[in-house]
């Protein structure tokens, strides 16, 4: 066993929303996790480490958009050994990351409020925007109608376990062609917006494009530009997505603690260490 004292326990957990934009959408999930680990060190954020021969920083990721897919709403959780002001962490971590990996929001998980629900459980669905260059809006709208009218759209994808067939339709709770001010430009372009529930197997934007091709022969001439706009709990009433970090903000307010508010000064909470292990667990 390694010599020396046990690593410092987690005393504060931060939930972080980040974006991957522009050319950095070509980063893979592994690229991002290396970049975040380095940024945390450069920013001097007191991240906790696991015990053992090769200690790992306690950073866990909730899902991840595929390589090549841009996102405005990716999530990770940091376990810290000392309390930090979430607003300052947002600024410092953002400054330490390369442009294009940008920190959007940081919220502290409220202490003493019982075990908060896991972040991954709140990410019930994603809202996607798919830009299809070279596709006329009319053709896109027709394909969307055909897709929504279909009872089921079976698609096939090569997964790690081999070829799998599954229904791409049932996971889609909303889909439409984004209305834009008509541009004089002669290059046609259609933009799709959709809300897709997280299911198993996961239905990805790719699968939906496969489905659109199957039902309506929609074949974009160039690679589609896919952006995840939001992730979160699905609001049954509106069909939209709620902010998955809101429950942490709300709990913080209810319990009269400012730890969860982005601008508040964080107070050390004894007993937090008990939850240390939960942070290290990867979803």
Partner 1 sequence: MSVESIFPRLEPLLPGVQKPIQYVGGELNSQVEDWDGADVRWALMYPDAYEVGLPNQGVQILYEILNERDRTLAERTYSVWPDMEAVMREHGIPQFTVDGHRPVAAFDVLGVSFSTELGYTNLLTALDLAGIPLEARDRTDGHPIVLAGGHAAFNPEPIADFLDAAVLGDGEEIALAITEVIREWKAEGEPDGRDGLLLRLAASGGVYVPKFFDVSYLPDGRIQRVAPNRPGVPWRVEKHTVMDLDAWPYPKKPLVPLAETVHERFSVEIFRGCTRGCRFCQAGMITRPVRERSITTIGAMVDTGLKESGFTEVGLLSLSSADHSEIGEVAKGLADRYEGTNTSLSLPSTRVDAFNITLANEFSRGGRRSGLTFAPEGGSERMRKVINKMVSEDDLIRTVTTAYENGWRQVKLYFMCGLPTEEDEDVMAIAGMARRVIQAGRDATGRRDIRCTVSIGGFVPKPHTPFQWAAQCDHATVDRRLKMLKDELRGDKEYGRAIGLRYHDGQPSVIEGLLSRGDRRVGKVIRAVWEDGGRFDGWTEHFSYARWTACADKAFAGEPVDLDWYTVREREEVEVLPWDHLDAGLDREWLWQDWQEATDGSEVEDCRWTPCYDCGVCPTMGTEIQIGPTGKKLLPLNVL
Question: Where along the sequence are the contacts to partner 1 (CB under 8 A)?
Answer: 2-4, 23-24, 26-28, 30-31, 34-35, 37-42, 49, 53-55, 57, 67-68, 96, 98-100, 133, 222-223
- Parallel, antiparallel or unpaired: strands 172-177 and 154-159: unpaired
Q: Is the separation of the CB atoms in 114 and 201 below 8 Å?
A: no
Give dist(CA 187, CA 29) in Å, integer: 33
Give the C-alpha separation, 275 to 283, whole Å. 16
Contact 57, 142 (CB under 8 A): no
The residue among 71 and 257 lying less far from partner 1, judged by its C-beta, is 71
Q: Give the shortest CB-167-to-partner 1 separation in angstroms.
A: 26
> For residues 3 and 183, which CB has a smaller minimum distance to partner 1 in the complex?
3
- Report the C-alpha gap between 194 and 206 in whole angstroms: 13
User: Smaller CB distance to partner 1: residue 52 or 239?
Assistant: 52
Q: Minimum distance from CB of 260 to partner 1 (Å)?
A: 28
Give which of 78, 107, 52 is closest to 262, Cα–Cα. 107
- CA 87, 233, 148, 200 dihedral sign is positive
Shortest Cβ distance from residue 135 to partner 1 (Å)? 14
- Could you tell me the smallest distance in angstroms from the CB atom of residue 174 to partner 1? 26
Residue 235, beta-bridge partner list = none
Q: What is the separation of C-alpha 137 from the centre of its chain, rounded to a whole number of angstroms?
A: 28
Nearer to partner 1, 1 or 182 (CB): 1
Q: How many residues does the chain have?
A: 283
Compare residues 54 and 238 and give the one whose CB is closer to partner 1: 54
> What's the closest the beta carbon of residue 223 comes to partner 1, in angstroms?
4
Euclidean distance between the first and final Cα of the chain, in Å?
Answer: 27
- 103 contacts: CB under 8 Å, gap ≥ 6: 16, 17, 18, 90, 91, 93, 94, 97
> Which residue, among 111, 57, 59, has the nearest Cα to 83 in the 3D structure?
111
In angstroms, what is the C-alpha Rg of the chain? 21
User: In terms of CB distance, is 98 or 283 closer to partner 1?
Assistant: 98
Minimum CB separation from partner 1 for residue 209, in Å? 12
CB of 107 to partner 1, least distance (A): 24
- The single-letter DSSP state of residue 30 is H
Nearer to partner 1 among residue 27 and residue 214 (C-beta):
27
Least Å from the CB of residue 168 to partner 1 = 20
Indicate the residue among 99 and 217 with the shorter CB distance to partner 1.
99
């Amino acid at each position: 066993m390694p010599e020396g004292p046990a690593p410092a326990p987690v005393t504060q957990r931060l939930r972080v929303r980040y974006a991957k934009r522009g050319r950095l959408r070509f980063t893979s999930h592994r690229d991002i996790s290396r970049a975040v680990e380095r940024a945390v060190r450069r920013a001097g954020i007191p991240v906790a480490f696991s015990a053992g021969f090769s200690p790992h920083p306690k950073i866990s990721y909730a899902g991840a958009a595929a390589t090549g897919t841009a996102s405005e709403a990716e999530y990770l959780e940091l376990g810290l050994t000392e309390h930090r002001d979430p607003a300052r962490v947002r600024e410092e971590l953002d400054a330490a990351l390369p442009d294009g990996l940008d920190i959007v929001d940081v919220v502290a998980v409220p202490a003493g409020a019982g075990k908060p629900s896991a972040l991954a459980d709140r990410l019930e669905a994603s809202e996607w925007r798919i830009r299809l260059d070279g596709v006329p809006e009319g053709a896109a709208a027709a394909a969307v109608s055909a897709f929504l009218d279909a009872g089921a759209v079976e698609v096939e994808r090569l997964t790690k376990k081999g070829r799998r067939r599954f229904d791409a339709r049932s996971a889609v709770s909303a889909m439409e062609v984004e209305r834009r001010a008509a541009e004089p430009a002669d290059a046609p372009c259609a933009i799709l917006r959709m809300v897709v529930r997280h299911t198993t197997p996961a239905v990805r934007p790719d699968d939906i494009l496969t489905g659109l091709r199957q039902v309506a022969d929609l074949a974009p001439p160039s690679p589609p530009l896919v952006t995840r706009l939001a992730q979160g709990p699905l609001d049954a009433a509106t069909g939209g997505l709620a902010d998955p970090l809101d429950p942490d903000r709300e709990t913080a307010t209810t319990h009269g603690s400012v730890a969860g508010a982005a601008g508040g000064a964080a107070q050390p909470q004894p007993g937090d260490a008990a939850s240390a292990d939960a942070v290290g667990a990867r979803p």
